[in-house]
Structure 1
Amino acid sequence: MSRIVTWCAKCLFLYILVATLAIKFAWIFVLPTWAVATKMHWSNLNQAVFLLNYFLPIFAVSGFILGLIPFGRLRKAVIEIAPGLSRVVEQDSIPAIYLAWLPVTIAFLIRFFTWQSRNASVIGSNNTVGRTARFFGTLNAQTPALFDNRWALDRFLFTGPMFFLMACAIAVLLRHTLFGSKATNEVSS
């Protein structure tokens, strides 16, 4: 039972870490991309507009790149340095990163399907195009009906971390698949 609680705590910690990065430190991921894009004349947007337009793909790519880093070696190094910590950093049968995206995806789907436009009619049907533009579109795709005080929170607290954790899990799975024998020896030891 304690392993399940520890595993769920790891998933929750990963989400909180990613959500904090998304809200507080998004510029760390977007600023270098913006600098390259403006220097190469690919974009003439100012930094804030660029952040709001391209945050989601840049954050997903950052998650994928981070997932390619073999953090299992860090676990092995910690155990070699301090063998007493082996119980604290023991390997799960299913690494938490594989399913850390699940809680935030469930929260995202609840928010996605319960969102209502300010201009929605009680009689009218749900506006799927507006809903998709609100959560996934660039600033050019947004209309005044899509903006409210929760727009930025929806992108930075739900959509961005969901993409980041999904891309990270895919990269870890890809890394374990491509380098399976080395990764399984690393994971099992």
Structure 2
Amino acid sequence: MSEKGVTTRQQIVVAATRLFHGEGIRAVSMDAVAEKAGVTKKTLYYHFTSKDELVAETIAARDQPTLELYMRWFAETDGTVADKVRGLFTKLGRSVDTPRWRGCGFLRTIAELANTPAHPAVKAGAAHKKRFEAWLETELRGHGVPDATALARRLVILLDGATTVMLIHRDLAYVDAAGQLALDLIERARSTR
């Protein structure tokens, strides 16, 4: 263990995550990761046998914290289930409205590795998106929203689309518009019960 209870492996993952997110996966060498993590290349390869394994680990490490963030945003938003979903978009907009934001790490990784769909990081990113969709479906169903499966899928499309368009235009109006569409979809679904 290194300082503050962080293992060397965790230290490497944190350094790699920052580098990959800031510069892109293909642009970052294992030498750069070792230097940023403050370890030797031998130590890096002791913990990760390949760059592919390290990339996958950085994505897997973000899975639960990201899900927990959305769960917290949902829980902290007052009102109906439609208000809570709308709140996800509002809080997403606030969190990404900074010049330093580089987009969704899951989407960026999948896009950068799109020509290798069997890459472990692509699989980890896709698994995260499925877990998020399943969580959202469970919340919708728990709040009595009909056809929660189809609606959760539509909401994921809106969230990922809003994230992508925000990266392109850096304009919160897109996130706001997607959030309004999400609210409208839920209210329409609830009114047809």
Q: Which has the higher contact order (CA 8 A, sep 6+)?
A: 1
Using structure 1 for the length normalisation, give the TM-score: 0.36
Using structure 2 for the length normalisation, give the TM-score: 0.35
Q: If you compute each CA radius of gyration, which structure gives the higher value, 1 or 2?
A: 1
